[in-house]
Amino acid sequence: MGDCFDRLSHVMRLFHGVCRLRDLLSRGVSEPEVAAAVGRGELVRVRKGLYATPGADPVFVAARRTRSLLTCASAANFHGLWTLARRDQPPDRYHLLRPTGADRPDAVVHRDTWVAPDPYAPVAGVADVVLHALRCLPELEALLMAESAMHQGISLDFVRERLPGNRNAPARAVLGLVDTGSESPIETLARTHLRRAGLHVETQVEIEGVGWVDALVERRLILELDGKTHEEPRQLDKDRRRDRAAQLLGYPVFRYGYGDVVYRPELFVSEVTRMLGFPTGIDR
């Protein structure tokens, strides 16, 4: 029994807690073993031919039950893509890939698919996820997902070539904003807001005597965009030393957090613009 249970547990983990009977059988788990696991409460029969562990992600279970795949914003966390959504807040509606069949009233349904899905989870392939996001989400949310996908190696040309025609012009415009120099969502948003204000922004710039900075605005103002790691005492001390070194060289340093850039972008841009109006020790 131990070997049977180990094999069954392994397959269920492989499939993220929700698995079709045919996938269990193809991996050496027998129907009597499945039935016994259901009897012991180790598996739940979701529908004919589909089983889940009691602790399986209910979103994965719902997707498998409806023969759908999670995509767009609903698949971002699975693929490690950047988003504006908080992980502890469930969305109002999920995004599903359903090439055929009726639309679900409680979901945003996407029909087109270009690449193979994840082999084990009910999630569309990362290229499909990005393409759906570009055609569906607000501009900045789509940009974050696309740019982080490019960091993972997804080809910008591959994505652009699958967005032909006038209907996809807004999606291609989002791709025009992609700059893989940014290393975090807040850097991407800050760069985009400032460039739209007409400012020259370089990302991840090395300054002699200071080191690498998140962004250099108009070649004379250093912008540092802080995440939670910058709240740690050791990092705070390091940041202060770097700031002093930069200021001694004539560079003003502005530091902003996630909330400043995401929730107060107008104020963020206004402050940076005002600072650039003051004389500094840098002649560029």
| Same structural domain, 131 and 229 | no
- The reply to whether 48 falls in a domain is yes
- The reply to whether 180 falls in a domain is no
- The reply to whether 168 falls in a domain is yes
Contact 225, 216 (CB under 8 A): no
DSSP-assigned letters across all residues of 167-218: GGHHHHHHHTT--TT--SHHHHHHHHHHHHTT--EEEEEEETTTEEEEEEET
In this prediction, residue 230 has a pLDDT band, given cuts at 50, 70 and 90, of: very low
- The reply to whether 281 falls in a domain is no
Looking at 113, 146, 175, the residue that finishes a domain is: 175
| Same structural domain, 156 and 197 | no
pTM of the model: 0.88
Query: Tell me, what's the pLDDT at 4?
Result: 62
Range of the domain at 244: 185-276
Whichever domain contains 208, its CATH number is: 3.40.960.10
Mean pLDDT score of the chain: 91
Give residue-wise pLDDT tens across range 172-208: 999 999 998 899 999 999 999 999 999 999 999 999 9
Number of domains in the chain: 3
- The reply to whether 283 falls in a domain is no
- The reply to whether 84 falls in a domain is yes
Q: With 70 as the cut, is the pLDDT of residue 233 above it?
A: no
In whole angstroms, give the CA distance from residue 182 to residue 160.
20
Any idea what the Cα angle at residue 108 is, between residues 136 and 111, rounded to 5°?
A: 75
Looking at 15, 38, 57, the residue that finishes a domain is: 57
| Same structural domain, 203 and 254 | yes
| Same structural domain, 171 and 73 | yes
Amino acid, res. 83:
T
Whichever domain contains 12, its CATH number is: 1.10.10
| Same structural domain, 48 and 134 | no
Looking at 23, 38, 57, the residue that finishes a domain is: 57
In whole angstroms, give the CA distance from residue 220 to residue 280.
8
| Same structural domain, 152 and 253 | no
| Same structural domain, 161 and 198 | no
